[in-house]
Structure 1
Amino acid sequence: MGLGAVALSLTLGALPGTAHAADTGQTSRAAETPLSREGYWPLEAAPGGIAPNVQADGLPLTLNGDAWIYHNEDIFGDAALVDQGDLRLDGDGDWAATSAAPVGGDGSFTLAARARPAAADDRTQTVLSLPGSHADRLAIRYQAATGKWEVVVSTKDKADAPQVVVTEEQALPDDDPYGVGDHLAVVYDAPAHELRFYVNGQLANTSTAADTTSWTASGGLQVGRSAIRGEYFEGTVDEVRAYSGVANTTMISQMSALTGLPDL
């Protein structure tokens, strides 16, 4: 599918008219942000309903509802999204979650996953989210109204808080039942005040903001739903990753590969 890069300037928690373009120093500031892997869940297995975290001492993902790990034991069988296993969700109350937030959202962070919806239809479906008490700090989802992938940021932990939405402008979600889905990655670079949304390793949209509303998520990472709005995901999820800090473009491209990279 064709992808393009579209630049969009938005302001988080600022007065209208204060949005500004990225300055020439953003790359060097981003490079100074330390990067620490907090979680890598390859979703190859889940003994006892627990999907282990490759990161030493990292939080595992607990499967809920009818969520299950598919593992391809037959070379002629249905291929998993990456390697031999992936997470299957039926959209009817299934999800996986950590017991606490691996990244809080009050500083730089990177979240990524590969996802393939069973159908890009009239239901908005959330792939990853970081919940607070009344709003999602951030959610990556398929938006039924536009037929696009998008990132939603709540500026406050309030039910009616203003939201910033960054929409992927070029590619439609891959819902081919035999396809490999789409790799989705969000980078929030706090020093540069920038949110970046990558689809299939390419920068799909850039939101640049004077962000004074970086509140901390209080709930665990949700895979396959929004703990606030529901929006259960029907389809397949694989290769979930969480980092404190900023992953650069090269690293995002590596994450989007169709081979698991446990050392990344």
Structure 2
Amino acid sequence: MTQQRVAIVTGASRGIGRAIARKLAAEGAAVVVGYSGNTVAATEVVDEITADGGQAFAVAADIAGEHAVEAMFAQAEERFGGIDVVVNSAGVLALAPIADLDLDDLDRMHRTNIRGAFVVARESARRLRPGGSLVLISTSVVGLRFPTYAGYTASKGAVEAIPMILARELRGRDVTVNAVAPGPTATDLFLEGKDQTAIDSLAKQPPLERLGTPEDIAATVAFVASAAGHWINGQVIRANGGII
């Protein structure tokens, strides 16, 4: 009998993380829905997964808190017997020109986006079973370099330094480490504060002439984390419809 895969998805209460959690569950994984503060939204994700016949439970955890992350991983092992996939989708975004950047916002992005990624990566390196995968979520803005995104892009640039190094450190473990870097994706976080003209302009940039959807990104993550995608290792995959 094939062993059921077990996945932890952080930032899974909304947006891309929510779509990833649902996609992995639809492909048969038992899912730990990690979230920071929105218990109602996280519970909705669990209910959606279980209503479709899947297994899931929610855990509140600050990903930058090492003990909270340790506890989340421990709960996954206790409930489901082990961990095969970890997707770190949690992140924070604050936009401002560098001249106007609030350093408190920079520190907040650094803590969640950089420290949090390292905490999750460290625990994943310690606990993932053979055949497992860690997928970090970055952003295509690392390459696009939009104005006002410097602080956020800098934090995600640090995330992109992890996959190849950690993949090499895990030699012999049969565990892959990759990052998926979405382009403009129609989530509430992305659409907030943008007028229709700005949204339409961004949608025209990819040759496919539309914004990405959370489901587009979830499908990419699910493939990279699957047995079929296991030969992909140490990579940053720009899932953006062809934006340079």
TM over 0.5: no
| Structure with bigger RCO (C-alpha 8 Å, 6+ apart) | 1
More helix by share: 2
| TM-score of the two chains, using structure 2 as the length reference | 0.28
More strand by share: 1
